[in-house]
A and B are shown apart, each in its own frame.
Chain A
Amino acid sequence: MTKYKVLRNVVLVLCIMGLMLGLARYTGIERTKLSPVERIIKSMVAPLESGATGVIQKAKDFFGMFAEIKELRKENALLKKKVSELNQEINHLKDYGLENIRLRNLLEYKQVHANNFKFLSAQVIARDHSNWYSTITINRGTNDGVRKDMAVVTHQGLVGRIINVTSRASEVLLILDQEGAVGGRVWETRETPGVVEGKGDTDDFLSMIHLPHDAQIEVGHTIVTSGLGGLFPPGIRIGKVIEIKEEASGLMKQATIEPFVNFSRLEEVLVILEVSDTYNIQEELREQREGASEQ
């Protein structure tokens, strides 16, 4: 390459550089108007760019769908877990709500009878150890002052009596059991005519037997404990008469009683630790008063 040619090339390169740099300085970012060439190029490119972007968007949507499905599955699993947790929480809250109602009822009952009885609250921890007896186990025992033959009640009425006691638990024979007979009387007439016992079938009904033929008892009457036999304090609600029929001999009547206590949903009970003397005296006086008025 001759010297002239080299010099010419260098000059050419420098000229191009100078021209380009000058042009670039002149055409910075802040320009009011594009040149016709730029406008043509831009208008040519715009539809191509738009097409390419559309294709890319479709591809992104397509492939994004798989990612989204994965994401949705993950979210679904999470939400399912959350729903299950919330359901569990709702169930717990419902349980607490029901427990609250039950405990409030028990507390009211306890307060109403505070002068008559000394109560001990207990929780049912087991029920019906065998098919043959109607019993429940409560979480209170001799350590809490529970003794054999103590009466067990709820705010609804009589539940049964303690038959076995250990230091921390006790077994309660329900009045539904045939062995759990209770002396009863009609609350409305204050007659003391019979014995209330379990019917021995699977129905949660009781029978009031040995009722004299002329006993004043009607369907709808309330049966309470008579206090005879000394096991149960008098006046505790047992159930409602739903049927009266004659015994086979024709001399006596018997009544079917629906207990006030819902034994299938028994969860908290009260053990009567002590009956106040005034309560017994009151009951005796009431008996005497009613006896005198009848005569």
Chain B
Amino acid sequence: MRYFVLALLGFLSLILESTIFNELIIAGVKPDLVLVIVILFALFNGPRQGALVGLGLGLLEDIYLAKYIGLNAISKFTIGLIVGFMEKRMYKDNFLVPVLGLFFGSLIYCAIYFIYSGMVGYPLSFGRLLKIALPMAIYNTCFAPFIYGRFYKASTKGILKA
């Protein structure tokens, strides 16, 4: 059930990204909502689940975008794995956890995406990476106050509980 909900959330995120958030572009970027879901989910569920959800939602995103299928999947798989490894070391009641997790998770994700994109032959310049990484990390972090509480509830007692 929770995978179905996550898939639905991912689907909804993709639609929101390509519609509403096109009107809410700040500093030339829009948020990566799928990445936000993957990071938060990995923070609560560890590397295995994080990587799996990252892979699934990333693949959904790739199919949706219909180009370089696997690039988002492998990037989000990797970030899910990395953030998931932090799961045991973090005290999830602390509000700083999602804030720092989303901020640094997004920055690392951009670096990973940059590396993988080079490997699959997608011409992404380093300048473009620098232009996107920090604003996107900040934009993604801004979602922490709005969704972390619900995510926490859903992951500990609600629909996203393992």
Decide whether A and B are members of one complex: yes
Q: Is B63 among interface residues, defined by CB-CB distance under 8 A?
A: yes
B120 touches A24 (CB 8 A): yes
Residues of the A chain whose Cβ atoms lie less than 8 Å from the Cβ of B18: 49
Proximity string of chain B (15-42) to chain A, C-beta cutoff 8 Å, 1 when within and 0 when not: 1101110010000000000000000000
User: Are B81 and A25 within 8 A (Cβ)?
Assistant: no
Task: Please tell me if the beta carbons of B70 and A22 are within 8 angstroms of each other in the complex.
Answer: yes
Which residues of A (117-154) have their CB < 8 Å from a CB of B?
none
The segment out of B71-79, B90-98, B149-157 that lies at the interface is B71-79
Cβ of A282 within 8 Å of any chain B Cβ, yes or no, is no
Give Cα A23 to B51, complex, Å.
18
Which of B60, B70, B116, B121 touches A19 (beta carbons < 8 Å)?
A: B70
Q: Interface residues of B toward A: which range?
A: 20 to 34
> How far is the CB of B9 from the nearest CB of chain A, in Å?
14
State whether A34 touches B66 (Cβ < 8 A): yes
| Other-chain contact of A20, B19, B63, B66, B74 (Cβ < 8 Å) | B74
Cα-based distance from A23 to B71 in the complex (angstroms)? 8
Q: List residues of chain A with CB within 8 A of the CB of B69.
A: 23-24, 27, 38
Q: Could you tell me the dominant secondary structure of chain A's interface residues? A: helix
Taking CB atoms, residues of chain A closer than 8 Å to B120 are 21, 24-25, 28
Bound: A25/B118 CA distance, A: 10
| A21 and B119 within 8 A (CB) | yes
Q: Which of B14, B55, B74 contacts A21 (CB 8 A)?
A: B74
Report if B89 contacts A (CB, 8 A).
Answer: no
Q: Mark B44-86, 1 if CB is under 8 A from A, else 0.
A: 0000000100010000101110111111011001100100000
Binary B-proximity of A1-37 (CB < 8 A = 1, otherwise 0) = 0000000000001001101111111011101001001
CB pair A27 B19 closer than 8 Å? no
Query: Does B3 count as interface, using CB distance less than 8 angstroms?
Result: no
Q: Can you spell out 22 A-B residue pairs with CB atoms less than 8 angstroms apart? A: A16-B55, A16-B74, A16-B77, A17-B74, A20-B70, A20-B74, A21-B70, A21-B119, A24-B69, A24-B70, A24-B71, A25-B120, A27-B62, A27-B69, A28-B122, A34-B66, A38-B63, A41-B63, A41-B64, A42-B66, A49-B15, A49-B18
| A-B contacts besides A20-B74, A29-B68, A34-B66, 14 pairs, CB < 8 Å | A17-B74, A17-B78, A19-B70, A20-B77, A21-B74, A21-B116, A21-B120, A23-B69, A29-B67, A31-B66, A37-B63, A45-B64, A49-B15, A60-B23
